[in-house]
Amino acid sequence: MNAWVYAYRGQEVENRHRISLAIHGPEGLLAYAGNPGLWTYMRSSAKPFQALALFLTGTVERFGITEEEVALATASHDGTPRHVAVASGFLAKLGLGPEALVCGVHPPSSREARKALEEAGQSPTPLHHNCSGKHAGMLAVSLALGASPEGYETPDHPVQVLNRKTLRELSGVEPLLAIDGCSVPTFSLPLSRAARAFYLLAAPERALEAYREPLRKVQQIMRRHPELVAGPGSIDTLLMERLPVVAKRGADGYYGLALLESPHGPLGIALKVEDGSAQAQEVAVVALLRLLGLDPGPTPWDQPERRNYRGLQVGYLKAHLELTWV
């Protein structure tokens, strides 16, 4: 069946955002909408699986990495002072500074943090980048493997080879590679196979033995520190605070969910807004959770209003999801 998010202006549909998604359950593919075989890049939704390397390689034990630092390695964070402090402390344990990060620089996503920097006359650093924790984690794994941290972002570096192997073994297919916005490899998988990986994050006992404990630890750490995974008011943080889920947003309309509990048992979900709309992504995710019997309570993404530059309401967004059950 088809799934859409409609953007209304007045009472007429102005834009249509097509959704493809796959839901993996205990017996395999459980339900889908659109094209569950769609190959598409996971973007930052892959971060929970990239963070597994911290446990697979003994990096956590070697450097005494804290739960907060592991959480930041899974994060697309808002660049608040707390996020920056955790990232800075993480690097300090490795004997490195912000200049070691190759993610680039952008202003904090947090409006308050951005305003505070501007008022202080300061410029953002790589620590403010939403991927700084992931990059710190990759540097740590590089050192634990005895590899040079130089070039850790290149596809043939040992840390990236390990990450590709992890996604291959959890999804069951060889991922395609491209370069993400933060300069490290990003992985393309069919939605149905990415959903399988998220299912194993929800139910680690079903994974290959080597991945069971790392998956369990990443799952628990993300749920214990949701504010570090994103930030106050963000969809990832809100969903993990209210529901038994691991929620991880990716760029350009991608979203991954591990549902630890649902009326259908543990589930893994991979969702893509095909035109990349971030606003439609949030509306679709909340509507899908409600459809599956998980109620997050009131959220900003339930039929959100569209407003013009004067603040006048000119329309709204609404999801229309129909699932095909296998």
Contact between 264 and 292 (Cβ < 8 Å):
yes
pTM of the model: 0.97
**DSSP of 210-251:** HHHHHHHHHHHHHHH-HHHHS-TT-HHHHHHHHSSEEEEE-S
What are the structural domain ranges in the chain? 3-58+155-325
Task: Please give the pLDDT value at position 278.
Answer: 96
In this predicted structure, the answer to whether residue 25 has a pLDDT above a threshold of 90 is yes
In this predicted structure, the answer to whether residue 1 has a pLDDT above a threshold of 80 is no
Helices (H), 52-175: 53-56, 59-63, 67-73, 81-93, 111-119, 132-144, 158-171
Q: Which residues contact 220 (CB under 8 A, 6 or more apart)?
A: none
Q: Residue 48: which of 202, 260, 275, 158 has the closest Cα?
A: 202
Task: Please give the pLDDT value at position 2.
Answer: 85
pLDDT tens across 232-288, in order?
Answer: 999 999 999 999 999 999 999 999 999 999 999 999 999 999 999 999 999 999 999
Contact between 187 and 42 (Cβ < 8 Å):
yes
Contact between 159 and 142 (Cβ < 8 Å):
yes
Q: What is the DSSP letter of 174?
A: P
The correct answer on CATH 3.40.710.10 for the domain covering 3-58+155-325 is yes
**pLDDT, the chain, mean:** 98
Q: Which residues pair with 254 in a beta bridge?
A: 272
- Name the CA radius of gyration of the chain, rounded: 19
Q: Which residues contact 53 (CB under 8 A, 6 or more apart)?
A: 59, 137, 138, 141, 159, 162, 163, 166
pLDDT tens across 53-77, in order?
Answer: 999 999 999 999 999 999 999 999 9
Give the Cα separation of 315 and 307 in Å (integer): 7
pLDDT tens across 84-138, in order?
Answer: 999 999 999 999 999 999 999 999 999 999 999 999 999 999 999 999 999 999 9
pLDDT tens across 300-325, in order?
Answer: 999 999 999 999 999 999 999 999 99
**Strand 267-273 to 254-259 pairing:** antiparallel
pLDDT tens across 182-229, in order?
Answer: 999 999 999 999 999 999 999 999 999 999 999 999 999 999 999 999
Give the Cα separation of 287 and 200 in Å (integer): 23
Amino acid at 111: R
Q: Exposed (0-12), middle (13-18) or buried (19+): which is 308, by Cβ within 10 Å?
A: exposed
